[in-house]
Chain A
Amino acid sequence: MARTSSTSHGETAVLGKGTNLRGRIAGEGDLRVEGTISGDVALKGHLTVDDGAEITADVQARSVVVAGAIEGDISAQEAVAIRAGARVVGAIRGASISIEEGATVNGRIDADFELPPELGGKAR
């Protein structure tokens, strides 16, 4: 439960277990979600969605790690990591996307990379 990994702006905000937000959350820093959110999330920092957490809305952040559930589109400037046991229903967009075995993903995946020419060349 330590306030670790401060990156862009100060410390990590935490929505703990048993916390339920109906509304929007936005800001500069990092956020770790252990509770539930139904409302948009827009961060300039990193977003971590812990096991047991649930987000029902679109999510925007610099990078996203999901171990819980997200029902909505995920959009990141950097990496998106879907951990084992996570559940995602919605489009995932990021510079790089990783999905672990045991995760459930239902939706479109849109990664920003160039396909090598032998695979068709024109990416996206």
Chain B
Amino acid sequence: MASTVISHGITIEGELTCDDDVVIEGTLRGKLVSKDTVKVENGAVVEADIAASSLSVGGQITGNVTATDRVDLMPGSRLIGDVKASRLTIADGASFKGNVDMDV
């Protein structure tokens, strides 16, 4: 159980900063900074820049993402934006439009 959960049906507009892991199942617009893992679940809609230690995407993100560790795009996910991370996986069935910078 994550310490912060933006569940389905919840919309956040603004800047969210967290020390711990975050799970997004709802909608987030703005900016998200976490020192831990961020998980964007299937069905989630994120229009925000995200910075985290690692990011796993099953939903939709429009925005630039930065991870100190890794970014994983799961099947069915959709990311429009640039990725900056030393490790990146893009699963079969994920869609991605943007630049990748693995030279972190």
Q: Do A and B actually bind?
A: yes
Given A16-B20, A18-B19: A28 touches B12 (CB 8 Å cut-off): no
Q: A1, A16, A21, A29: which contacts B14 (Cβ < 8 A)?
A: A21
B7 touches A10 (CB 8 A): yes
Determine if A39 is an interface residue (Cβ-Cβ < 8 Å): yes
In this complex, how many residues of chain A approach chain B with their Cβ under 8 Å: the count is 28
Given A16-B18, A18-B20, A19-B20: A24 touches B5 (CB 8 Å cut-off): no
Interface residues as binary, B1-41 with A (CB distance below 8 Å gives 1, 0 otherwise): 11111111111111111111010001000100000000000
Q: Which residues of A contact B1 (CB under 8 A)?
A: 1-3
Given A14-B3, A16-B3, A17-B3: A22 touches B14 (CB 8 Å cut-off): yes
Determine if A26 is an interface residue (Cβ-Cβ < 8 Å): yes
Given A24-B12, A25-B12: A13 touches B18 (CB 8 Å cut-off): no
B5 touches A20 (CB 8 A): no
The complex places the Cα of A1 from the Cα of B1 at a distance, in Å, of 7
Given A2-B1, A3-B1, A23-B30: A13 touches B14 (CB 8 Å cut-off): no
A1-52 CB contacts (< 8 Å) to partner B: 1-3, 9-29, 31, 34-35, 39
Q: Which residues of A contact B10 (CB under 8 A)?
A: 13, 25-29, 31
Q: B2, B3, B7: which contacts A29 (Cβ < 8 A)?
A: B7
- 15 new A-B contacts, CB < 8 A, other than A14-B2, A19-B4, A26-B12, are A10-B9, A13-B7, A14-B5, A16-B4, A18-B20, A19-B3, A21-B12, A22-B15, A22-B16, A23-B12, A23-B14, A23-B15, A25-B14, A27-B10, A39-B14
